[in-house]
Amino acid sequence: MTISLKTLSYIDGKWTEPSLGGYFEVINPANNSVISSVANCGSQDAVTAIRAASKAFQFWSKTPAEQRAEYLYRWYKLILQHQHELADLMTRECGKPLSESLSEVVYGASFLQWFSEEARRIKGDIIQSPNADKRFLVNKQAVGVCAAITPWNFPLAMIARKCAPALAAGCTIVVKPAEATPLTALAMADLAEQAGIPAGVFNVLPASEGQEIGEVFSTHPLVRKLSFTGSTAVGKILLKQAADTVKRISMELGGNAPFIVFDDADIDKAVEGAISSKYRNAGQTCICANRFLVQEDIYDKFIAAFSEKVKSIRVGDGLQPGIQQGPLINNKAVQKVDALVRDAIAKGADLICGGKVHELGGNFYTPTIIGNVDKSMAIAHEEIFGPVSPIFRFTDEREAIAMANDTPYGLAAYFYSQKMDRIWRVSEALEYGMIGINEGIISTTLAPFGGVKQSGIGREGGHYGIKEYLDIKYLCLGGLT
Ligand code: SIN
């Protein structure tokens, strides 16, 4: 079977017209052309989907784990089978180069594979009882109906990272994908249907703006768990709204990742890691290096090697062969990135390369490095979400750690050093949920993804991921003779 472009919402196993009848356009950021019009769902559609998910929960939570695993595995195989079509669609929706889209499809599919296996490993406990007539048991049960709000920068993988553990645990789910990338989400629903996943278990609601559906997700009493990936500002609103019904929450929010290069680092490897951490998806990932902290005595050497590579990054439409950096998601993103660069330069930063809208125009921004950045500049505090590397100087390890931790965020951090004692000291001192040590790419299905401080709550991936979708139930069995 092939996948066809789906443009309606997917509720209770049916392709459904929006209740208010509206549609919105999905735009290709490489040329601002309209890819398609998609159903614009609102609060009524969200309530319908939540009710369908609640009805489906009655049988899905009782479906044996073995069978839930088989559904997930079939979905995984179908995604791999259609990886080229999915990657093409993803590049047209969000702009990332085709090679990155393909990697994302494989990365996203791996969550379905992993959690199809984890479904079989949900285990309880028996606690030794001090009383002859009592036994204490601990059971794990699916949380209930879940709601997920997912971002445009990883249109497939973030849905898979939330839905795979939810379905494996026995939960049902309603997803609101980002307005920029609903088509990839609907293609996933198409494949879920082809995999035979029963009606109501997985639902997708496209919408042109998230507020209305976000409010239903975070306040509806039938929703027992909300998982959100996006900005810290929106995360805080959802948290407040979810407080009244005391929902379980997972939040993967903003970051301000430091990338520290110590003077004992292997500079070539640090440059390689810097390129992959910073310029993946044109700098539009939550875990992108956001501040480069480079030790004084290797500062010039690092910049010389780094800028040589950055200047050679090939920018263009991600569908063209050999392109390494696509457009930013829209013009607002370009304006924001450019304003941060202008502010830094006006306050005394050095422009090393780039620093302007790319000659292709539109949503393309030149890969940029600015040096001698300090904390008076807005770029030191804001998540850039663009292909710009601000470089700060530091003199010693203590100063580097203080600078790295001087932020309310705590998602990912990176550092390069070859000294084992420093590696332990620094990794323990950094207030972050994930640390790349001599490595710029840290994402994997197998490890817990998530942050501390204002970067979020909970973990996705690894054997930790499924716990977010399971309640612990203690059983006290008495009256035994
Ligand atoms: C993100 O940017 O939110 C996700 C990045 C990843 O999973 O690698």
Q: Return the domain boundaries, the chain.
A: 9-253+455-475, 258-444
Residue 425 host element (H or E): helix 420-429
- Closest by CA to 95, choosing from 283, 277, 318, is 318
Q: Mean of the pLDDT values across residues 195-207? A: 98
**Tell me: the pLDDT tens digits for 184-200?**
999 999 999 999 999 99
Topology adopted by domain 258-444: Aldehyde Dehydrogenase; Chain A, domain 2 (3.40.309)
Q: Tell me, what's the pLDDT at 473?
A: 98
pTM above 0.75, yes or no: yes
- Residue 107 alpha carbon, nearest atom of ligand 1: 7
Model confidence band, residue 112 (pLDDT cutoffs 50, 70, 90):
very high
Q: Tell me, what's the pLDDT at 1?
A: 65
Residue from 449, 455, 459 whose mutation best tests the ligand 1 pocket (most atoms within 8 A of CB) = 449
Token pair for 301:
């050497």
Q: Tell me, what's the pLDDT at 23?
A: 98
pLDDT at residue 238 tops 70: yes
pLDDT at residue 214 tops 80: yes
- Closest by CA to 333, choosing from 215, 178, 103, is 178
Q: How far is the CA of 265 from the centre of ligand 1 (A)?
A: 26
From atom 7 of ligand 1, which residue's Cα is the shortest distance away?
443
Residue 68 host element (H or E): helix 65-81
Q: How far is the CA of 138 from the centre of ligand 1 (A)?
A: 34
What superfamily would CATH give domain 9-253+455-475?
Answer: Aldehyde Dehydrogenase; Chain A, domain 1 (3.40.605.10)
Coil, strand or helix: which one is 4? Answer: coil
Active site residue 252: yes
- Residue 252 alpha carbon, nearest atom of ligand 1: 3
- Residue 442 alpha carbon, nearest atom of ligand 1: 8
Q: Tell me, what's the pLDDT at 21?
A: 86
Q: Mean of the pLDDT values across residues 465-475? A: 98
User: Of the residues 93, 193, 252, 383, which is catalytic?
Assistant: 252
pLDDT at residue 2 tops 90: no
- Residue whose tokens read 């390069």: 416
- Closest by CA to 181, choosing from 152, 211, 202, 213, is 152
Q: Tell me, what's the pLDDT at 209?
A: 87
Model confidence band, residue 169 (pLDDT cutoffs 50, 70, 90):
very high
Ligand 1: residues with CB < 6 A are 153-154, 157, 229, 252, 285-287, 443
**Tell me: the pLDDT tens digits for 43-91?**
999 999 999 999 999 999 999 999 999 999 999 999 999 999 999 999 9
Q: Tell me, what's the pLDDT at 157?
A: 98
User: Per DSSP, what are the bridge partners of residue 353?
Assistant: 369
- Residue 153 alpha carbon, nearest atom of ligand 1: 2
Buried b (16+ CB within 10 A) or exposed e, 240-264: ebbeeeebbbbbbbbbbbbbbbbbe
Residue from 158, 181, 288 whose mutation best tests the ligand 1 pocket (most atoms within 8 A of CB) = 158
Rounded Cα distance between 220 and 428, Å, is: 40
From atom 6 of ligand 1, which residue's Cα is the shortest distance away?
443
Model confidence band, residue 358 (pLDDT cutoffs 50, 70, 90):
very high
Q: Which amino acid is at 8?
A: L
Q: Tell me, what's the pLDDT at 471?
A: 98
Rounded Cα distance between 309 and 279, Å, is: 11
DSSP string, 148-211: EE--SSSTTHHHHHHHHHHHHHT-EEEEE--TT-HHHHHHHHHHHHHTTPPTTSEEE---S-SH
Q: How far is the CA of 13 from the centre of ligand 1 (A)?
A: 29
Rounded Cα distance between 449 and 434, Å, is: 7
Q: Which amino acid is at 371?
A: G
- Residue 157 alpha carbon, nearest atom of ligand 1: 7
User: Per DSSP, what are the bridge partners of residue 368?
Assistant: 388
- Residues shown for the chain: 481
From atom 8 of ligand 1, which residue's Cα is the shortest distance away?
443
What is the share, in percent, of the chain residues with pLDDT greater than 70?
A: 100
Q: Mean of the pLDDT values across residues 6-32? A: 97
Q: How far is the CA of 66 from the centre of ligand 1 (A)?
A: 29
Coil, strand or helix: which one is 401? Answer: helix
Q: What is the mean pLDDT of the chain?
A: 98
Q: Tell me, what's the pLDDT at 379?
A: 98
Q: Tell me, what's the pLDDT at 481?
A: 87
Q: Tell me, what's the pLDDT at 390?
A: 98
Q: How far is the CA of 360 from the centre of ligand 1 (A)?
A: 27
Model confidence band, residue 110 (pLDDT cutoffs 50, 70, 90):
very high
Q: Mean of the pLDDT values across residues 311-338? A: 98
Strand bridging mode 257-261 / 248-252:
unpaired
Q: How far is the CA of 228 from the centre of ligand 1 (A)?
A: 12
Q: Mean of the pLDDT values across residues 85-110? A: 98
Is the Cβ–Cβ distance between 289 and 310 less than 8 Å?
no
- Residue whose tokens read 């609907």: 186
Q: Mean of the pLDDT values across residues 398-404? A: 98
